[in-house]
Amino acid sequence: MKSRTERNELFMKYIPLMRSTASRFWKKYKKKIMSYEDLYQTICYLFLYAYELWDPERGKFGPHLKNVLEYKLKAMMKGEKAPRSKEYPFSFLKPKYTLKEEVG
């Protein structure tokens, strides 16, 4: 069973990966992103999402986290909402780059 202590230890361990991912996406897409802080906060949220999904019996957390970050950030760059945020959706993209919901 996963614990809060384990989650916190993994979070601290993977801060460098999360920061480097944020820096890479910021350099590539900063014209579309509201702020580096919004991007990094989203990455921290995705860490929690990745931790919830992770099955230790299927592999190490590091590669799993990296895959989740890459896939979900790219999906969000295309306008998808953050996972499990349907009630309170958020985005790190500037408003003009988010998909508009179709009416009617």
What is the pTM assigned to this prediction? 0.89
Pairwise CA distance, residues 54 & 89, whole Å: 23
Cα–Cα distances (Å) from 41 to 22, 33, 58, 60, in that order, read: 9, 12, 27, 23
Each of the 104 residues of the chain gets a pLDDT tens digit; together they read 788 999 999 999 999 999 999 999 999 999 999 999 999 999 999 999 999 999 999 999 999 999 999 999 999 998 888 998 877 778 899 988 876 553 43
Q: What is residue 82's DSSP assignment?
A: P
What type of residue is 94? K
DSSP class per residue in 7-31: HHHHHHHTHHHHHHHHHHHHHHHTT
